Amino acid sequence: MSGDLFAASQRLKDISNHSKPLASNDIPDSAIKDAVRKAENFEHDFEDDIYISAKQSRLLSSVLARMTRLQRTVGYGNFNLIDLDTARRYARHYTRIGAFTRHEITLIEALFEFDASNYGFFGRKVSTTLTEAIKRKDVKKISGSGHYLYQGDALELYKKLRKQLGDDLILTSGIRSVVKQLHLFIAKVEKTGGNLSRAARSLAPPGHSFHGIGDFDIGQRGLGAANFTNSFAQTEIYKQLTDLGYISMRYPVANPYGVRHEPWHIKVATNV
C-alpha cells in the first residue's frame, strides 16, 4: 500500500506507520471541542481539513463510477448487502462494470484501513474487514423500501414503530455493508472536492457505520431527501417518536464523534 496516498496534507501520517485508532478516553478535550465545532458547521471547509491529492482524486472518481455501475447492475437493494469479494466477482464478470484495477483496490483498502481520527472522526470502528459477508438468512427485506433490516432487535423495533405510528413512518436506510458505506463516503468526498474531513462530518467513514450492525434511518412519508436534514426534527413523526420515548440517538447534538446531528438515525445496537 502506498505510503503517500494522502500526502496532500501534512497532518496525515504515512499509512504504513499510522497509529491505532484512539480510544474515547484517549481523545483530548480540545480535540473533542474542535470536532463538535466543526460538526456544527459540517458543510464548511476548515484550514486543517484533510484532502486527498489530485492524483488520488482522479482514482477515486474512477472507483466511484465503477461502484455506481455495480450498484445499477446488482440492484440497489442487493448493493446494500454486498461485500468486496462479491463486488469484485461481479465487476470481473460484467463488462459493463469492468474489473477493479490494482490501484483502485489499493485506494479502497487505504480508505478503509486509515485511522479516521486523523481527519477528525472519533466514532468507533465496528466492521473489521472489507470482506465481511452479510448472511441472507439474518436479514429481511422491508417491502416498499428497497432496504433490509437484521432479523431480531432491528426488525422488531421497526415493526413496533410502524404499528404505533402508522404508514407515515418509513424506512429510509437499513443495513449498509462496508462496500455500500464506502460508496456513500467516496461520493461525498468527491462532492466536497476531495475533503476527507468534511465528508466524515456528514457520514461515518467505511467500517465505522452502525448501519452495518443494526441501526437504521427513518423518515416521514412525502418529505423526500429532507428526511436527511434537520427538517426531519420538525415533523410529526419525530415528535411522536420523542413523545413515546423511542428516540435513542447515535449522533445527538454536540456529540463527541465529529459527525453532524442525525435526528433520523435510530440506535439499535446498544452494546457499542
Residue 17: all three cell numbers together: 506507520
d(CA 149, CA 158): 9
The whole-number pLDDT of residue 22 equals 42
Q: Report the b/e string of 184-204 with b at 16+ CB within 10 A.
A: bbbbbbbebebbbbbbbbbbb
208 exposure class (CB count in 10 Å sphere: 0-12, 13-18, 19+): buried
Residue 6 in this model has a pLDDT that exceeds 70: no
| pLDDT tens string 105-147 | 999 999 999 889 888 899 889 998 999 999 999 999 999 899 9
The whole-number pLDDT of residue 10 equals 35
What is the H or E stretch that residue 57 is in?
A: helix 54-74
Residue 194 in this model has a pLDDT that exceeds 60: yes
The fraction of the chain above a pLDDT of 90, given in percent, is 68
Specify the pTM: 0.88
Q: What is the mean pLDDT of residues 236-246?
A: 86
Which of the residue ranges 50-54, 94-98, 171-175 would you say has the lowest mean pLDDT?
50-54
Helix, strand, or coil (residue 270): coil
Mean pLDDT across the chain: 87
The whole-number pLDDT of residue 16 equals 31
Question: In the chain, what are the domain boundaries?
Answer: 15-266
Could you tell me if 223 and 172 are in contact, meaning their C-beta atoms sit under 8 angstroms apart? no
| pLDDT tens string 10-20 | 333 333 333 34
d(CA 173, CA 195): 24
d(CA 161, CA 167): 10
- Class at the top of the CATH hierarchy for domain 15-266: alpha beta
The whole-number pLDDT of residue 170 equals 96
Could you tell me if 174 and 216 are in contact, meaning their C-beta atoms sit under 8 angstroms apart? yes
The whole-number pLDDT of residue 3 equals 34
Pick the closest to residue 178 from 134, 148, 119 (CA basis): 134
The whole-number pLDDT of residue 129 equals 92
The whole-number pLDDT of residue 182 equals 97
